[in-house]
Each structure stands twice: as C-alpha cells, then as structure tokens.
Structure 1
Amino acid sequence: MLSPLSHSSGIFLLFALSGAVTACDTGLGLGGTEVVKGCNAEAQTCIPSSRAVYAYAEAYPDSDSEVSISLASSPWHLYGPDGRMMQVEELAAVIRPHINEATERVVLLGSWTGGGDRPLAQRLSKALDGMPVLGADGFLWLSPDGSTRLTKQAYTARNGSGYYEVAEGDEVLVPLAHGWAAGMEQRFIDGGDAELLLHAAIGWDVFYLCREKALDGFELAAEHGVAIAAYNAALMRIERNEEGDRAAARRLLEQAASQGDTKSRDLLAEMND
C-alpha cells in the first residue's frame, strides 16, 4: 500500500482533458465536471482509497452465474496488483479456472473496460471462447455495498490534493485511487521515489487517460531502475509501433531482463524469434 502524503486545503482541479495535458486525445466524448468528496481526518474516519476499492469490490454481489474481478484499467490497458500491464490473454488465464458450467458472464470492475475502439471486455470475451464479458464504459465508482455507477467527466474536482482518502461510508472513484499519484509526479522525481513514479505513470493512463504521458512516465521510472516500468513502456512502444519504437522496446526489455524480470526476458525472446 502506498504511504499517505500530506493534503492541502481548498479545491484542487484535476484536468483529465486540459491544456496542461496536451497529449491527451481520447475520443471518448468526455464532458462536464464531477466532484470527489474529501475526508476531514479531524471529524471523519478516513480510509485509504486503495483499501476502499478492495473492500467495496469484495462487497460486489457475486452469484454462481457470474465471475467478477477488480483491477486498474484504462480504455487500452489492464494492470495487475504490482502495477504491471496485463495482456488480455494473461487475464483470461487468471479467470478461466473460475469458470464452470453455471457461469454465464464475467464482470470487469475496472474503468473503461467496455469503452474505446477495441473494448477490452470484447477482446477478453474472445480470449474466453465467447464467454460474455461486461465492462464499464466510463469512470467507475464503487460504493460500500458493492454497487457501482459510471461517469464520463472531462474534469474532476476534489477537496485537497495528494493522497486520496475517502470518508467511511462514502463512494470511491476507482481510477483516482490508482491515479492520484500522477499529480505528484514532480514531487516523486525530486524525492527519487522510483516506485511512486511507476504509480504516477499508471495514473496518467487510468485517470488522466493520457497514453503519451503514461509512456513518458514509465520510461522515467525505468530510468530510476523500476523493471516493471520498463516492461510497461516496452509494451506501449510495441503497441504504438511508430518508427524507432521496436528498437526502443528492445532496449527497455533488455534493461528489465538484466534486472531479473522474467516477463521482460520472455517478451524479448518472442521479439527475437
């Protein structure tokens, strides 16, 4: 779990699509503003947002006919608990043992898994031999009872900045639980906090919906020695496939493999075949 960072007072606007994040061009039809409630530690019981996501997802009303899984996600990428990007086939391998004759569908409790040009839910369904997969076409909010709602805001306003906590009983904005660190990136650079730079890069992807900033962030974390960040950056380079991307991806994978990262070593071997 990430260590809490200090809060500042007042309203802090996080611009999912603003002049400050000029590389972002989602085509997702975002609009309007959503307000995220803050938590006053002097008057309320504050819960780390990551813990709230876990607890609320556990409360999601499962049934014998449904398999649900909670994960950080953007319209383009899925992330495991260690911050590593997961290929759709990898997630399918995790889910497949839990599917039986009674299973009618899989539910992805992750933002934007049902949105974009090539919905992740649709691709996962194909990997699961046609099993219906329900994904979210928007930012996912979870309530303590496991109920959900979706929004498509262009701007998110919250009381305070930095580490995201919720008051006991309040809903949690799932992508902000994973994405708050993006707004603190310069602080992590100044402090040399390599692992938090990895989380900042994830935040650019899952909350700000900005792939180019995410790629920059992963490569920055890779420069600070984070093998998972190098792996993620390599996947994004391969995915983008512009001039020089494959060579850059190879260098990133070689770096991560030299640090003992087995997935990077395996992907590098695939590229060399």
Structure 2
Amino acid sequence: MKYLLSALLLAASVPVLADCKQPVPLSGLITVSSCDPAKSACLPAGQAIVEYADKVAGNDDPTQLNMALHANPWRFYDGDMRIQTVAELARKVKEVIEKEKKVERIALVASWTGVAPAPGRKPLAQQLAEVVGLPVGGLQGFLWLTRDGSIRTTQQAATALNGNVYRIAEGEEVMVSLATGWAISQEAEFLTQNNAEGLFHVGVGADILLLCPERALQAFEAAARLSHPIAAYNAALIRLDRKQKGDREAAQALLKQAAAAGDKPAQVALQKLRSKQR
C-alpha cells in the first residue's frame, strides 16, 4: 500500500559539497549526469520520483504501508517542503491504518530514516514505530529509485550534478534527495534579488541534500525575513529541535510571524509552545 507525500520537483543544480557535521561518516563523491533532451528522451527528476515510487515493492500489499517522502536523519518534509514532525506523520499513518485495518508494518521510502541523527537520539523510523505501535523500516542513506521500483542507498560525502537541470534518461535511476538541490547554487543571486521562494528552496536543499541543518536554518531565516511563512515555520522547528541557548525565544518569534500571516500549522505550533511555557 502506497502513501506518497513527495512533491513534484524540477531540479537544477551545479556540483554541491556537504561541509557540515554529519550523523554518520560519509565518504566519496558521486557525479550524476543530467540527461540532455537534445540527445535522448528525458524525464524531470521530480516526475521520475513520483512514477518510480508508485512501483516500490509493497504498494500492492495491504499489510504493508509504504510512506514515500523527503527526509534526512533529523526530520521529515511534506509535499509543500514544510517540516513534518513525527507526531504529525504518525497521525496520518493512524488515519490510514484505521481506514485500511490490515496494516501490519510500515516502510519509510525516505532517505536516512534508519540512521540516528546524533548519539542518544533514535532514528526517525524507530520514533515513528514507538508512536504508531507497528514495526517501521527506515533507510541507511540517500535513497535511489529505479523504474521497476527497486531501491538502493548511498552514503557519499558529496554529490555533483553534471548539468544545469536534473533530468534522467528514460529508464535511469533517480537520486531522490538531489531533486531538492536545484536552488543551492543560486543562493547568492536569490539574496541579491530578495527572492524569498528561492531562499526557501535553498534551505530545503541544504537540509535534505547537504545534510546541513545550520546552513538550512540560515536560508530559512533569510526567507522568513522576506515574509515567507513556511520558511519561518521550518526555521522555528529546526531551532526547537536544536535546543541551543535562545532557540526557544527565536522559534516563538518565527512562529508568531508565520501565524500572523495566516499560516495555520504555525498557529497550532505557537499555541502548543506557549502552553508548555505556562
């Protein structure tokens, strides 16, 4: 049984290198060649992700619930590239389980969900399992999907795209996280243009592809200063997860900003945060 949360994405990126503290030792460089539409039939990476995820083993098994979404060791993202907490995903899982009745296990078709983000912390798959009360399988690295639904993972320290737009030739495998990295190389331009949407996607790519929460936070907060509500929400949740000095106060200000703009998830999160302070 498939439950797909991935957004349809078009990816455009130049070589990007991760220079952040990682949850596991990473090594090596993987170069991905983008398909040239002048030479062969090409498929946008985001479209391939959606189509390939539809064929992952277990989609037709009523006892297995496949959850396909973007993730890193710290957090999930929904189709709008909004951070989704374990509790929020668990509610969606429980709704499906209640409706389908036959679900016995869950498979996270999502990068890094089987890896603990830090010593003393549990992998996302284990966190979700403890909330829903069913076995949950996670992955140990960056997810790659093939046309027949097969999956594999890699743990490279750097990923380079040979081309400006991430397209794949018909039938080629696709690196899921790389589809989020299109904005990273344009960060300086987005800053000059005061492009909130572009900076928001820099944050998404930094968190999911570069595995760099600190850089993601900077980009999200830059977009938040330009009144991007989801960026403000994401920045707030990263700060609340980081739990450094001043993070709670900064998170509350970010949530207040997003809530004032009409962002309902931010309104809910702000209410919960305030209730914990009483």
Q: Same fold (TM over 0.5)?
A: yes
Amino acid at match of 1:59: K
Taking the aligned partners of 2:36 and 2:145, their CA distance within structure 1 comes to 20
Taking the aligned partners of 1:34 and 1:88, their CA distance within structure 2 comes to 30
Deviation for aligned residue 1:3:
6.3
Deviation for aligned residue 1:209:
0.5
Q: Corresponding residue for 1:149?
A: 152
Deviations 1:22-62 (A, max 9, x none): xx101311112222132111011221111111111011122
Task: Decide whether the 8 Å contact of 2:10 with 2:46 is kept in 1.
Answer: no
Which of 243, 246, 263 is the matching residue for 1:244?
246
Q: Corresponding residue for 2:79?
A: 81
| Mapped pair 1:15 → 2:27 | no
Q: Corresponding residue for 2:5?
A: none
Which of 123, 126, 131 is the matching residue for 2:127?
123
Aligned residues: 260
Taking the aligned partners of 1:229 and 1:216, their CA distance within structure 2 comes to 10
Flag structure 2 segments of 5+ consecutive residues without an equivalent.
1-7
Q: Corresponding residue for 1:41?
A: 37
Q: Corresponding residue for 1:113?
A: 113
Q: Corresponding residue for 1:91?
A: 89
Deviations 1:150-204 (A, max 9, x none): 111112233123x322121111000001223223222322343322321210110
Instruction: Map 1:210-229 to 2 at 5 A.
Output: 210-229=212-231
Deviations 1:116-174 (A, max 9, x none): 24200000001102x0111111010001111100111112233123x322121111000
Taking the aligned partners of 1:146 and 1:239, their CA distance within structure 2 comes to 33
Q: Corresponding residue for 2:69?
A: 71
> 1:2–1:105: structure 2 CA closer, same or farther, 3 Å change rule?
closer
Task: Decide whether the 8 Å contact of 1:67 with 1:106 is kept in 2.
Answer: yes
Amino acid at match of 2:52: Y
Taking the aligned partners of 1:185 and 1:204, their CA distance within structure 2 comes to 11
Aligned to 2:183, the other structure's residue is in SS state helix
| Mapped pair 1:205 → 2:204 | no
| Mapped pair 1:102 → 2:105 | no
Taking the aligned partners of 1:257 and 1:146, their CA distance within structure 2 comes to 40
Q: Corresponding residue for 1:137?
A: 140
Flag structure 1 segments of 5+ consecutive residues without an equivalent.
none
RMSD over aligned Cα atoms: 1.7
Task: Decide whether the 8 Å contact of 1:15 with 1:156 is kept in 2.
Answer: yes
Task: Decide whether the 8 Å contact of 1:83 with 1:198 is kept in 2.
Answer: no
> 1:196–1:106: structure 2 CA closer, same or farther, 3 Å change rule?
same
Amino acid at match of 2:24: L
Taking the aligned partners of 2:189 and 2:21, their CA distance within structure 1 comes to 26
Task: Decide whether the 8 Å contact of 1:175 with 1:206 is kept in 2.
Answer: yes
Task: Decide whether the 8 Å contact of 1:106 with 1:132 is kept in 2.
Answer: yes
| Mapped pair 1:264 → 2:266 | yes
Task: Decide whether the 8 Å contact of 2:9 with 2:45 is kept in 1.
Answer: no
Taking the aligned partners of 1:45 and 1:214, their CA distance within structure 2 comes to 34
Which of 231, 234, 255 is the matching residue for 2:233?
231
Aligned to 1:180, the other structure's residue is in SS state coil
Amino acid at match of 1:194: A
Taking the aligned partners of 1:232 and 1:143, their CA distance within structure 2 comes to 30
Taking the aligned partners of 2:81 and 2:232, their CA distance within structure 1 comes to 11
Taking the aligned partners of 1:50 and 1:190, their CA distance within structure 2 comes to 27
Taking the aligned partners of 1:60 and 1:76, their CA distance within structure 2 comes to 24
Give aligned-pair identity as a percent: 41
Deviations 1:57-79 (A, max 9, x none): 01112212211011111100100
Which of 1, 22, 26 is the matching residue for 2:22?
26
Taking the aligned partners of 1:148 and 1:89, their CA distance within structure 2 comes to 26
